[in-house]
Amino acid sequence: MNPRRILLAISGGIAAYKAPELVRALRRAGHEVRCALTPEAERFVAPLSLQAVSGATVRKDLFDPGEEGEIDHIGLADWADLIIVAPCTANLMAKMAHGLADDLVSAVLLATHAQVLIAPAMNVNMWSHPATQQNLETLRERGLHFVGPDEGELACGWEGRGRMSDPSVIADVANTLVAPKTLVGERVVVTAGGTSEAIDAVRALTNRSSGKMGFAIASEAARRGADVVLVAGVTSLPTPHGVRRIDVRSALEMRDAVLVEFDAATIVIKAAAVADFRPVEAVAEKIKKEDLRDGEQVTLELVQNPDILAEISARKGSRTVVGFAAESRDVVAAARRKLERKGCDLIVANDISRSDAGFEVDENAVLFVWPSGEVESLSLMPKTGVSAELFDRIEKLREDR
C-alpha cells in the first residue's frame, strides 16, 4: 500500500472521538502515524488512547521543553509526507487561511511542505457561513485537499452538512494522495457488481456478486492516478474517491455503458458478474399466484445476453482488456477455455466454492491465467491487495508492449 509517514492533526470538535479509528485504518494500510492535538482536542479524545493505537508519543504542547528537545514543530512538519486534519473546526480553518500559528498544530501546518488533507466538521450554519466558505476557497486555491463534510444529524442536534466523513473514507482518500501516480494518462473502465434481469414488475434474475472486487479495482486505479470510469451493476457500495460512476441494472444496459466509454479507454477490466441469460420478455405487472390454477407451472423462456468481454476484446487494438472468471470446479481449465474464447489479455479466476473468498467477502484468492499458458496463484488476501497485484501486472504488460 506504499507506506508513508502521516501526521494526524486533531482539533477541538466532537468528531475527535473518531480519531483512534482513523489511526487504525491508516496503520492497517501500512503507514507510520503520529498524532498532534490542539489544546481543545484533548477535551474530546484522550492522548493515551491515540498513543496506544499509533504506537508513538502524542504531541500537544508547542512549548514543552522535553518534546521540543526531541522533535520541534519544524521537525514534525518536515517529518510528514502527508498531514491529515481531522476533525478540522471552523476556527482551525480560519487560522490556516490567515497564517496564524498560536499552537502546535497551527504552527506545524504553517511550516510544512507536505500535502495536507482536511476533513471539516462543524455545525451546518458555521459551515455555510460566508467567512468559512471564503476560507475554504482560499485553502483550495493553495492546493490543500478536502474530504467532506457529509450531510446528516449533527452532534448539536441540527440536520445538514457538517459531519466529518467516515474514517474509512478519509483513509481511502489519504491512500490515494500518497500512492505513486503510475497510471497518469490512462483511462480505466471497470465493471463491477451483478446485473438484474427483470421477470416482472418486482422479480428479477440476479446473482450473489457484491461488487467489492470491482470497486477495489476502481479505487486502486484512481490511487495510481488514472482517469477511472466505474460501470456499476446492482450494489449498495459507495463510490470510490476520484472515480466517475455509471449505474446500470441489466446486462444490456451494462453493454451500452461500456461501449460508450470504450473508445476513450486504454484499460478495460470486466469484473462484473454479468447475467448470461435474460427473460425473452419481462411482464409489465407483477405475476400473482392467485391468477394461476392450483399446481399450474410457470415457464420462463430465456435468451442469451451479449458477450461484452468477447465483443470488446475483438476490437481492443492497443487497449489492455482483463476478464474475470468465477468458477466452482476445474478453475484453471475453465479459465483457460474462457481466455481462448474471449481473446482478452488476462483472465483473473477465483473459486467461488470457497466460503472465505469470492462473492460477498472482503478477501479473495485468485489465479492470473495468461495466454502463454502461465498460471500465477495469489494466496488469500484483501481485495485491495489483489487489485494492487493486478495493476502491477497490467503496468508491466503495457510497458513491455
DSSP symbols for 75-88: HHHHH-SEEEEEEE
The whole-number pLDDT of residue 1 equals 53
The type of residue at 75 is G
- Indicate which residues carry an active-site annotation: 156
- Is residue 64 within 8 A of residue 206, CB to CB? The reply is no
The total number of structural domains in the chain stands at 2
The whole-number pLDDT of residue 65 equals 62
Final residue of a domain: which of 127, 146, 178? 178
The whole-number pLDDT of residue 69 equals 52
Verify that 366 and 225 share a domain, yes or no: yes
Verify that 89 and 195 share a domain, yes or no: no
Final residue of a domain: which of 150, 178, 206? 178
The whole-number pLDDT of residue 175 equals 87
CA distances to 55, 187, 191, 216, 221 from 225, in Å? 31, 10, 18, 15, 7
Verify that 284 and 322 share a domain, yes or no: yes
Sorted by sequence, the CB contacts under 8 Å of residue 400 that are 6+ apart come out as none
Verify that 170 and 212 share a domain, yes or no: no
Verify that 237 and 132 share a domain, yes or no: no
Domain containing 92 — which CATH number? 3.40.50.1950
The whole-number pLDDT of residue 357 equals 65
Verify that 232 and 88 share a domain, yes or no: no
The whole-number pLDDT of residue 66 equals 59
The whole-number pLDDT of residue 379 equals 87
Please tell me the distance from the alpha carbon of residue 236 to that of residue 55, in angstroms, as a whole number: 35
Q: Minimal CA–CA distance to 367: which of 338, 345, 346?
A: 346
Q: Are strands 5-10 and 82-88 parallel, antiparallel or unpaired?
A: parallel
Verify that 84 and 31 share a domain, yes or no: yes
Verify that 14 and 73 share a domain, yes or no: yes
Verify that 23 and 126 share a domain, yes or no: yes
Verify that 43 and 152 share a domain, yes or no: yes
Domain containing 234 — which CATH number? 3.40.50.10300
**Residue 168, all three cell numbers:** 474509512
The whole-number pLDDT of residue 294 equals 75
Final residue of a domain: which of 178, 200, 232? 178
Verify that 23 and 166 share a domain, yes or no: yes
Q: Minimal CA–CA distance to 197: which of 332, 304, 339?
A: 304
| pTM tops 0.85 | no
Radius of gyration in angstroms for the set of CA atoms belonging to the chain, rounded to a whole number: 25
Q: Minimal CA–CA distance to 261: which of 342, 188, 183?
A: 188
Give me the helices (H) in 85-230, please.
90-98, 104-111, 124-128, 130-141, 167-178, 212-223
Per-residue pLDDT of the chain (401 residues; tens, 9 = 90+): 567 899 999 999 999 999 999 999 999 888 999 999 999 999 999 999 999 999 998 888 877 665 555 556 777 888 899 999 999 999 999 999 999 999 999 999 999 999 999 999 998 888 999 999 999 999 999 999 999 888 777 676 767 788 899 998 999 899 888 888 899 999 999 999 999 999 988 889 888 888 999 999 999 999 899 999 999 999 989 898 889 999 999 999 999 999 999 999 999 999 999 999 999 988 888 878 777 777 777 788 899 999 999 999 999 999 999 999 888 788 899 999 999 999 999 999 988 777 676 677 788 889 999 999 899 998 888 888 899 999 999 999 998 77
Q: Are strands 381-382 and 366-369 parallel, antiparallel or unpaired?
A: unpaired
Domain hosting residue 143, numbered range:
5-178
Verify that 365 and 231 share a domain, yes or no: yes
- Is residue 301 within 8 A of residue 280, CB to CB? The reply is yes
The whole-number pLDDT of residue 254 equals 96
